Amino acid sequence: MSKRPDNQMEVLSPAGDLSILKTVVDAGANAVYFGGDLFGARAYANNFTMQEAGEGISYAHSRGSKAYLTVNTLLKNLEIEKKLYDYLKSYYEMGLDAVLVQDFGVMELVHDCFPDMELHISTQANITSAYGSLLLKNVGAKRIVCARELSLPEIASIYDRTGMDLECFVHGALCVCYSGQCLMSSMLGGRSGNRGRCAQPCRLEYDLLDAKGKKRRMPGPYILSPKDMNGIMDLPRLQNAGVYSLKIEGRMKKAAYAEGVVAMYRKYTDLLLSEGEERYEVDPKDLQLLYNYGNRCGFTNSYYDMRNDKDMITYVSPSHSHSAVKPAASRREQKAGSAITGYFYAKVGEPVFLTLIAGETSVTVSGVTAQEAVKAPMTEEAIAKPLKMTGASGYEMKELNLDLHGDLFIPARELKALRREALEQLSEASPKAEKEPVIVGERTAYPMRPLFSGKKTLSSGICLTTEDNRQEKLCLSYLQKSREKGILVISFDQLLKKDITDILELKEDLHRADSRLYVRLPLVIRKRNQRALLQKRDMIASLDGVMVSSFDTLGFVKEEFSDLSILADHRLYVWNDRTQQAYEKQGVGAFSVPVELNRKELRHRNLENCYLTVYGRLPLMYTANCQHKNSLGCDEKTEVLYLKDRYQKIFPVRNICSSCVNIIYNSLPTSLFGKADEVRALSAGGIRVDFTLEGEKEVAEVLEQLTELIEGRNPGEISFSEITRGHFNRGVE
């Protein structure tokens, strides 16, 4: 199937402000996406006021384009309960076409309250498979913005299974981390990517060290900095993969960049749709123009072919460079009626007249009576200048003819008013753009549903997660001796190294200790680990439950293992109670406390059905780009490397070959053992401990501290490492 039967594709442009919105619509964008003053993933952009948004939506609609609002951050309890509905209702009444969303609770609210407004799932939701896509389709999503890391065959497989509108990034900056899964900026500087405030630590210098501290030779120090994306050559392949919307990145970019890139993609999308793949060819001069508009050490399209290698990394200073160049011919200059000719008549003592002609359309308006100049008469240039200022009207004054009589004086404000009136009348009288304007009609918003009051209490008080067999054995021994019910969560990598006999034996040992066995499924489901997941179907089905970290893994479990208990990792974000309840409707039975909320914000959350993590080395990034592969080549051998930053902090990096993913961990483990009283005051349903790189002595010490905490004493801090409190004290904006 793959290729859409309607032979349609959308050029989707960012709009950093109202002027840019008008510019890119005139340059050929079928749709624009922009941020309002709340909840957008570009907190530092010139986001739109309500008045500007209304004008922008109207402008786009009048020219046959659509307007989408970004609401793709995670929301705290008070935000979603007190602000979101009224905020969205205002946009809804303006005729907004769609909302881009990351937070699952926001998705449910949009679908319930604004059912005829399209729900688009942001790339922040990190959708990598049809499992997550179908889950979201079933709760009202119209469109999925695919993870940037997906190859074209993977994209095609999503379209073939879902038939959904797929949106893919084609041009602009790339994140090195799977979107929505980066906590590096958040944990290091308090600026959360999940709140639109990323400080881009990936664009800084790092040394790569081996286990002995020896520096690995790399092409340069910017080893986490991807080049910019450029998919202009790949439009036929994107079309054949079922892609509908071609997304250009850049709400922080200047107008010249946005206009030039949009005009170029408009040109070649039109070529593809009208002439077909056989006659599709990109002019090398146009490739150079795209390069001149702006790039970051060149371009890459590697992800389309699943080449997650060092060729896509800048390695040298990744600043965005550009050349001063006039944008390519845009749709504004090409479409009928956008170039206008003007005729202005003025004679002392008579009303002035301005005639504008666009194509076959002509309008004439009259203005004030021309006065005789008391001193120096106006020059032709002084009269022509305010008449030629067409601004962002969508028209360009190609020619202005002046018919002047006498020593004239006409106030500039009157000339501007005359020009504005003429342009408005011309716009109303002219044939519209290629597409019919969007018809909004009568819209009725439904009120927010109140939160339901049902509460649950966890059946198990302890959750221990492990990454290797040594940690697993120590945790099993601990649960056998503990008086608390517990859950032992092994990694999917551990599961792959076991057979069904091992699993059943481990499960039986845990059941005798009144505890349960879960597996933590991979964060992302891609071609390689999807095959492994299905091959281990019987083994997974024999477990007590699964820990899920993404929409994809949740969708996978719902489709393949409907009888298993589901525990949500903190990567399945539940910043607010409404989102948690939305997941409960999907069968999630227990949750992990969000790691980016502080203790004051957590008091606003119902944590009775949540595990609070009191110890663990937090993963900061999950990347498809592999440091082991970039330094030694791909030999499918897992090792722990280390990134050293400019402050000499050391961040462990582990390559998980079964899922073809790199995990970058925080330089210090997070520990709340020293905050025992405050931990207890939150009344979470359970306590969670995560083991990642710890050896036997470290695991044993942490488990001793856990016993102290559970039994009501105040444990000291761990002795084997400095620690961080994470966001327990500070939180994020």
Cβ proximity of 502 and 490 under 8 Å: no
Are 471 and 478 in contact by the 8 Å Cβ rule? The answer is no
pLDDT, tens digit (0-9, with 9 covering 90-100), for 132-187: 999 999 999 999 999 999 999 999 999 999 999 999 999 999 999 999 999 999 99
Look up residue 445 and give its DSSP letter. Answer: P
Q: Which residues contact 399 (CB under 8 A, 6 or more apart)?
A: 341, 342
C-alpha span between 265 and 268 (Å, rounded): 5
pLDDT for residue 249 is more than 60: yes
The pLDDT score that the predictor gives to residue 562 is 86
Number of neighbours of residue 707 by Cβ within 10 angstroms: 16
CA 180 to chain centroid, in Å, comes to: 6
Contact 471/493 with Cβ under 8 angstroms? no
Q: What is the pLDDT of residues 70-124, one digit of tens each?
A: 999 999 999 999 999 999 999 999 999 999 999 999 999 999 999 989 999 999 9
Structure tokens that stand for 491 in this block: 């990694």
How much is the pLDDT for 129?
97
CA 135 – CA 658 distance, rounded (Å): 24
What's residue 123's pLDDT? 95
Mind listing the pLDDT tens digit for each residue in 51-78? Answer: 999 999 999 999 999 999 999 999 999 9
The yes-or-no verdict on residue 420 having pLDDT over 50 is yes
Q: What is the pLDDT of residues 384-394, one digit of tens each?
A: 999 988 765 66
Give the chain's mean pLDDT: 91
In terms of residues, how long is the chain? Answer: 733
260-296: pLDDT as tens digits: 999 999 999 999 999 999 999 999 999 999 999 988 8
Residue (of 728, 726, 456) closest to 591 by Cα position: 456
Does pLDDT of 561 surpass 90? yes
Question: In Å, what is the CA distance from 684 to each residue of 111, 331, 590, 687, 701?
Answer: 30, 57, 11, 7, 23
End-to-end Cα separation, the chain, in angstroms: 45
Of the pLDDT bands very low, low, confident and very high (cuts 50, 70, 90), residue 569 is: very high
The two tokens of residue 484 are 């608390």
Does residue 719 register a pLDDT over 70? yes
CA dist 193 and 203 (Å) reads: 14
Per residue in 1-16, pLDDT (tens digit) is 688 999 999 999 999 9
Domains and CATH numbers, the chain: 10-174+228-321 (3.20.20.70), 339-429 (no CATH), 462-617+669-710 (3.20.20.70)
DSSP state of 728: S
Sign, Cα dihedral of 602, 605, 607, 608: positive
Mean pLDDT of 448-464: 84
- Between CA 503 and CA 509 the distance in angstroms is 10
What was the pLDDT predicted at 332?
Answer: 47
pLDDT at 337: 44
Record the tokens describing residue 349, joined without a space: 């003592």
Give the CA distances from residue 220 to residues 204, 205, 316, in Å, rounded to whole numbers and listed in that order: 11, 9, 6
Query: Quick one: pLDDT at residue 333?
Result: 44
Indicate if the pLDDT at residue 568 is higher than 70: yes
Per-residue model confidence (pLDDT) at position 39: 74
pLDDT at 435: 47
| Cα–Cα separations (whole angstroms), residue 679 to 508, 581, 631, 649, 695 | 32, 23, 42, 28, 26
Structure tokens at 240: 């054949």
